[in-house]
């Protein structure tokens, strides 16, 4: 009998069985490891999910505070309201509650300093009301800013894990004067220049931008828009049937090579800060019963101006401004204010102009003199400085075929503190304006020594050094002469219709003469916040009542300096976000 074979077979079978058992053990170990990994991975995922949900809860707490901050900042007193609310600890009480949404019933919020149901809100030391270069989408602008830190920690009391997480948001509350823009439009911005045109400062539209240049349009600074940038004329523009052959060059392009989309920049006028009809109210005097909306009242030029000049059919009255409710009567020297009926003709309007002339030279001599002998001593005492702003109201009856108009004449040298002239009527600026320094030396287009100034009205028309009332008594298109104007313009335009083009940025300052070969040198800021309601005559093609000047236009960089900002300048208020930080566990927990 062969027993060796049987033993070999049994040995081999035992070896196979042993190997199978080993493989089974290994498989079980691998399965166990996989199950353990899967379990641990599931726990990690669940913990991460709970963590990020907790981060979201902490962020919700900070967002609740920022919503309140932003709303308070847009109120009448702006930064003061925010600061007073901070001192009262009211912001610290802003946390999500179950009363708002049952989702928050399981969450506990802390400020990281051991205080339950509170959010940490702090003004960064040394940052209150600083004039600061802005960043992010507002880079290139300056504003009066306050820096705040908002920090919250959250924990889900019924969560699977003991997880807390925090979020910190750093923000700036920025007040941005409007005249920091070379061009700012609260409505559609249309620009369709025939010759080359270079814009040297920042440009913004709260609506859309339509570009249809005949040559090269160059933006040297950033262009921002709340709507869209479009090639070609605005739909319905009868003066352009299609896209012109020019090109647009962006020296500071946005992410897509053109402009940058940002939110609207609006005045703090309740909820109507971008509504052109609402914004127009800054030109008007208050209603007889006073403003029901305090936010509108604060923005009115009538309430900001140092001197209110009222012209009636009986004469001229002048008083102090809103600081003491006009209680100080002002006696202006003869010749400062002169009223006329049908003094010259406006070919665009097809009407005569009932001009109220403001003689800047005569006003300067009076305003610079703080003595009681021939000077404005009462207002120097009232304001603690020289009066530097005038608001003009025309309450005369308007004869048929005419309309109101305030004209600024002899304005080459301004008062030492500068000058803003505002009115709900159209403004005409005649001859060189703000071209001489305090010594009377002409600086021409060099604004290093000019005075801060703005002209604010329903519309702004530039009358050249060659203007003559007698030559323009019944018709325009007389020859102009080269002229320099250094001032910010804030005024309205006439909207493009099927009957007429608005005239675009290139015709925002209106003209009534033959400027062919003559230059308008302009240093300032052009701001359009509304549509004109008095000077509503349609823009007409050149060669009728005017021909355009050679445009030597430049943004006045003085307006980036708060000391050189025109008197009564309006300002936008924005909450500008900075760093967003995830903070981990509550250190006080």
pLDDT value of residue 559: 95
- Is residue 41 predicted with pLDDT exceeding 70? no
Tokens of 81: 């309201």
Q: In whole angstroms, what is the distance from residue 370 CA to residue 467 CA?
A: 34
Mean pLDDT of the chain: 91
pLDDT band, residue 1 (cuts 50/70/90): very low
Tell me the per-residue pLDDT of 249-263, one tens digit each, with 9 for 90 and over.
999 998 888 999 998
Tokens 């001489």 appear where? 436
What integer is the mean pLDDT of 342-356?
96
Q: What are phi and psi of 196, to 5 degrees?
A: -60, 145
> What DSSP assignment string belongs to 412-455?
SS--TT-EEEE-SS-EEEES-BS-B-TTS-B-TT--TTPPPEEE
Residue 346, pLDDT score? 97
- Cα(486)–Cα(506) distance, integer angstroms: 17
pLDDT tens across 532-560, in order? 999 999 999 888 899 999 999 999 999 99
The pLDDT-based confidence of 165 (bands split at 50, 70, 90) is: very high
Specify the pTM: 0.88
**Nearest-angstrom CA–CA distance, 178 and 161:** 52
The secondary structure of residue 514, as a DSSP letter, is B
What does the block give as tokens for 476? 């325009």
| Dist CA 95 CA 527 (whole Å) | 40
pLDDT value, residue 239: 80
DSSP 573: E
- Give residue limits of the domains in the chain: 8-179+574-584, 268-569
Q: Is the pLDDT of residue 179 over 70?
A: yes
DSSP state of 208: -
Report the pLDDT averaged over residues 444-463. 93
Half-sphere exposure in the Cβ direction for 523 (13 Å, CA): 22
pLDDT in tens, 134-154: 877 788 889 999 999 999 999
Range of lowest pLDDT (60-69, 114-123, 270-279, 540-549) = 270-279
- Provide the Cα torsion 222, 225, 228, 229; round to 10°: -30
- State residue 10's pLDDT score: 56
- How large is the average pLDDT for residues 286-297? 90
Report the first-to-last Cα separation within the chain, whole angstroms. 84
The count of other CB atoms within 10 Å of the CB of residue 233 is 22
Q: Which candidate, 312, 227, 333, places its Cα nearest to that of 274? A: 227
Q: Are the C-beta atoms of residues 204 and 274 closer than 8 Å to each other?
A: no
Question: pLDDT over 90 for what percent of the chain?
Answer: 75
Q: Does residue 7 have a pLDDT over 80?
A: no
pLDDT on residue 247: 94
Taking alpha carbons only, the member of 497, 494, 505, 463 closest to residue 480 is 463
Q: Is the pLDDT of residue 307 over 50?
A: yes
Express each pLDDT in 352-375 by its tens digit: 999 999 999 999 999 999 998 888
**pLDDT digit string (tens) for 382-439?**
999 999 999 999 999 999 999 999 999 999 999 999 999 999 999 999 999 999 988 8
The Cα–Cα gap between 251 and 371 comes to: 51
Which residues face 319 on adjacent strands? 308, 329
Check if the beta carbon of residue 416 is closer than 8 Å to that of residue 368: yes
Quote the strand ranges of 347-418, DSSP E.
351-359, 389-394, 402-409
């Amino acid at each position: 009998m062969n027993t060796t074979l049987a033993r070999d077979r049994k040995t081999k079978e035992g070896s196979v069985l042993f190997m199978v058992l080993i493989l089974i053990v290994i498989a079980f170990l691998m399965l166990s490891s996989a199950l353990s990994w899967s379990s641990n991975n599931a726990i990690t995922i669940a913990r991460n999910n709970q963590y990020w949900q907790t981060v979201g809860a902490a962020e919700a707490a900070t967002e609740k505070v920022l919503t309140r901050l932003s709303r308070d900042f847009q109120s009448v007193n702006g930064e003061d309201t925010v600061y007073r609310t901070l001192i009262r600890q009211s912001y610290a009480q802003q946390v999500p509650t179950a009363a708002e949404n049952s989702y928050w019933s399981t969450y506990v919020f802390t400020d990281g300093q051991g205080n339950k149901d509170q959010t940490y809100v702090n003004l960064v030391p040394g940052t209150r009301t600083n004039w600061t270069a802005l960043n992010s989408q507002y880079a290139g602008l300056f504003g009066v800013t306050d820096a705040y830190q908002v920090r919250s920690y959250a924990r889900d009391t019924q969560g699977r894990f003991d997880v807390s997480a925090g979020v910190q948001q750093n923000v700036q509350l920025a007040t941005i004067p409007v005249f920091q823009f070379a061009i700012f439009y609260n409505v559609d911005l249309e620009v369709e220049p025939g010759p080359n045109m270079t814009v040297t400062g920042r440009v913004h539209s709260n609506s859309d931008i339509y570009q249809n240049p005949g040559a090269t349009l160059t933006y040297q600074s950033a262009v921002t828009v709340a709507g869209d940038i479009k090639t070609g004329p605005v739909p319905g523009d009868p003066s352009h049937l299609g896209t012109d052959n020019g090109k647009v060059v962006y020296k500071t392009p946005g992410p897509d090579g053109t402009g940058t989309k940002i939110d609207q920049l609006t005045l703090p006028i309740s909820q109507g800060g971008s509504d052109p009809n609402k914004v127009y109210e800054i030109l008007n005097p208050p209603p007889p019963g006073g403003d029901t909306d305090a936010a509108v009242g604060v923005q009115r030029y009538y309430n900001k101006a140092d001197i209110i000049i009222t012209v009636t059919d009986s004469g001229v009255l002048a008083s102090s401004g809103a600081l003491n409710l006009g209680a100080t009567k002002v006696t202006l020297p003869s010749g400062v204010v002169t009223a006329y009926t049908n003094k010259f003709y406006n070919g665009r309007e097809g009407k005569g102009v009932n001009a109220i002339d403001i003689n800047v030279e005569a006003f300067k001599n009076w305003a610079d003199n703080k003595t009681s002998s021939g000077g404005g001593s009462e207002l120097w005492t009232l304001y603690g400085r020289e009066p530097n702003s005038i608001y003009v109201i025309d309450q005369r009856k308007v004869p048929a075929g005419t309309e109101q108009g305030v004209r600024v004449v002899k304005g080459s040298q301004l008062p030492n503190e500068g000058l803003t002239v505002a009115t709900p009527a159209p403004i005409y600026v005649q001859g060189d304006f703000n071209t001489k320094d305090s010594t009377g030396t002409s600086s021409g287009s060099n604004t290093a020594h000019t005075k801060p100034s703005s002209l604010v009205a329903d519309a702004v028309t530039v009358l050249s050094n060659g203007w003559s009332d007698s030559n323009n008594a019944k018709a325009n298109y007389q020859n102009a002469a080269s002229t320099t104007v250094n001032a910010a313009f804030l005024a309205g335009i006439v909207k493009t219709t099927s009957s007429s083009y608005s005239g675009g940025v290139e015709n925002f300052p209106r003209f009534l003469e033959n400027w062919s070969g003559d230059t308008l040198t302009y240093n300032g800021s052009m701001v359009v916040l509304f549509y004109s309601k008095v000077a509503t005559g349609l823009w007409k093609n050149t060669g009728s009542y005017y021909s355009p000047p050679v445009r030597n236009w430049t943004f006045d960089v003085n307006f980036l300096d708060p000391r050189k900002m025109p008197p009564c300048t309006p300002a936008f208020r924005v909450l500008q976000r900075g760093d967003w930080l995830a903070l981990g566990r509550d250190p006080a927990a």
